[in-house]
Amino acid sequence: MWRGALHGSRGLVWAKSQTPKGLIEGIDAVMSKRKEDEELTTELTRTDIIKCIQSARVRFRGVNLSGLDLSKLDLSFVDFSYACIRNVFFSRANLQCAKFRDVDAEGAIFHNATLRECEFTGANLRGALLADACLIDCSFCQADLRSAHLQNADLTNANLEGAILEGANLKGAKLSNTNLRGANLQRAYLRQVNLRDTQLEGANLGGANLLGAIR
Report the CATH number at residue 169: 2.160.20.80
Angle, CA 115 vertex, CA 199 and CA 178 arms, to 5° = 5
Domain count, the chain: 1
Return left, alpha or beta for 16; rule: phi > 0 is left, psi -120 to 50 is alpha, else beta. alpha
**CA dihedral over 14, 71, 77, 119, signed as positive or negative:** negative
93 in a domain, yes or no? yes
8 in a domain, yes or no? no
75 in a domain, yes or no? yes
123 in a domain, yes or no? yes
Q: What is the mean pLDDT of each run of 10 residues along the chain (215 residues)?
A: 41 45 64 58 88 83 96 96 98 97 98 97 98 98 98 98 98 97 98 95 97 91
Domain that holds residue 26: 15-215
Task: Tell me the three state secondary structure of residue 21.
Answer: helix
2 in a domain, yes or no? no
39 in a domain, yes or no? yes
For 34, the enclosing helix (H) or strand (E) is helix 21-37
- Taking the model in full, what pTM does it have? 0.79
Rounded CA separation 164/142 (Å): 7
1 in a domain, yes or no? no
